[in-house]
Chain A
Amino acid sequence: KAGVTQTPRYLIKTRGQQVTLSCSPISGHRSVSWYQQTPGQGLQFLFEYFSETQRNKGNFPGRFSGRQFSNSRSEMNVSTLELGDSALYLCASSYQGGRDSPLHFGNGTRLTVT
């Protein structure tokens, strides 16, 4: 069974630009969660999608948004990038959601904002 696939692996963007990250979950998993990891703040929950609906949301500004498609693939978008958005963005899939079943993470997208 293929694991969670995230693309791209690395991104370099300039302040003010926007970026879209992609995540393909493990086959059969309906939940996709997104996390931001930085040295200072650790792993912070962004949002979770389940069957195309946003089920949970973390404490991030509205510049961070996401969506999930009918095939469970998910995208995350960050608009008007700031230097502080530089981070490793991790996507995780699970059968029922992180609250009720094991999370499996992708390799992440490392975003650098200059």
Chain B
Amino acid sequence: GIQVEQSPPDLILQEGANSTLRCNFSDSVNNLQWFHQNPWGQLINLFYIPSGTKQNGRLSATTVATERYSLLYISSSQTTDSGVYFCAATTSYGNKLVFGAGTILRVKS
């Protein structure tokens, strides 16, 4: 099955800083999603982005399917951005969404 790797595993930012999280996948994907898990365990869908670029406020994501990676950009970070960011992917022949191990983000005030 598809392998999903995320980097960096941990990231500490000062409030107001920008960051880029990366997701590499081992095969062509037809589905790539980014999620944020807050400190209370709730998983929120940020983007459904099998290809191209999308923006939502301070967050944006880009998936380059031909090169097998996706990037999540966080600008002007806030303490509420803290938590774990997951990407998940599946292939056109796959039957389940496979999650990466996540990036733990801590934003300090």
Interface residue ranges, A against B (CB under 8 Å):
33, 35, 42-43, 45, 48, 55-56, 58, 88, 90, 92, 98-105, 107-108, 110
Contacts and interface: CB of A to CB of B under 8 A. Distances in A.
Contacts of A43: 86, 88, 99
A42 B102 contact: yes
Interface of B: 30-31, 33, 35, 40-45, 48, 86, 88, 90, 94-102
Contacts of B48: 101-102
Contact of B96 (A45, A88, A107): A45
Contact of B43 (A56, A105, A110): A105
A107 B42 contact: yes
Majority DSSP secondary structure for residues of A touching B: strand
Contacts of B100: 42
A56 B95 contact: yes
Contacts, number: 57
18 contacts: A42-B102, A43-B86, A43-B99, A45-B96, A55-B95, A56-B96, A98-B31, A99-B30, A99-B31, A99-B97, A100-B31, A102-B45, A103-B35, A103-B45, A103-B88, A104-B45, A105-B44, A108-B41
Nearest to A110: B41
